[in-house]
Each structure stands twice: as structure tokens, then as C-alpha cells.
Amino acid sequence: MPRFDLPSKQPDGSPNFVEVADPDDLTAETLFAIHRAVKITSGAGGDTSYSPREMEDDSVNAFLSFAITGWSFPSPIPSQVNVAAADVVIGRAMKAKDWSSLRRQVKPLMDELEGISNEDPKALPAS
């Protein structure tokens, strides 16, 4: 289970942290939620507006809503708060620098779920 230290400190001086599920334990449901979190819609007049950064944030928060298994903050983790969206729970618990750090740290896990790798793809065996 990956654990990510964050810039802010707990009262005892140790860093705040977030623990996330191992990518091998996450289901396709997680990917579907990430994909569903980002939509671009057009208005009746055909006008379309969106914020690329907000779309990225929504994807990360959708992932974190499924992936976070524990953290050092005094509030419950997003999956334990059924009445609030993950971005609200995370946004109220973390300082901006913590969230930015976490976003950078979980990006490789999100890429792994999507099948994005820095390695060269291996050829399939000939049949």
C-alpha cells in the first residue's frame, strides 16, 4: 500500500500522509469513475466552456475518492463521507500545497491504471 508524505506537519512534527490502495487492488470501477468525472458539454447555443486544469483536478479527485485508504488528517477519508463529494472532503482537510504534492505523487499510479507506461511496449508473441 503506497504511502505519500505531504509538506504539512502533524502536531508531533511528523509529516501528514495519505495512504492509497495498491493499483493492483483497484477495479475497473475506479477507471470508470475517473472517466465519468470529466465531461465537456455544449450549451443550447453551441457554446462550450471548460477549464483544462479543473478537468485534471476532477480526474485526480475521482481517483482519490476510491484510492485513499487512510490519512493523518482528523476528518474521515472521502469514501467514509457519503454526504459530500471527494473534492469537498479533500479540499477541507488539506492545505493547497498538500493537495498539489499528492496530485504529483499519485499521477504515476493513475497512469499505471490507464496502461500508460514509460517503458517500451513489448511485442505480442506471434501466433
What is the number of structural domains in the chain? Answer: 1
pLDDT of residue 50: 76
Q: State the cell numbers at 119.
A: 517503458
Domain that holds residue 18: 3-39+50-113
Tell me: the pLDDT tens digits for 67-126? Answer: 999 999 999 999 888 767 888 999 999 999 999 999 999 999 999 888 886 555 555 566
The string of pLDDT tens digits covering residues 50-77 is 777 888 888 899 899 989 999 999 999 9
Burial of 103 by CB count in 10 Å (0-12 exposed, 13-18 middle, 19+ buried)?
Answer: middle
Distance CA 15, CA 2 (A): 15
**99 in any annotated domain:** yes
Taking residues 24-30, what's their average pLDDT?
Answer: 88
Half-sphere exposure of residue 97, counting CA atoms within 13 Å on the CB side?
7
Q: Is residue 67 part of a domain?
A: yes
pTM value is 0.80
Mean of the per-residue pLDDT values for the chain?
A: 86
Question: CA torsion sign, 68 to 74 to 75 to 76?
Answer: positive
Domain assignment present for residue 35? The answer is yes
Q: Which residue type sits at 118?
A: N
Q: What is the pLDDT of residue 119?
A: 58
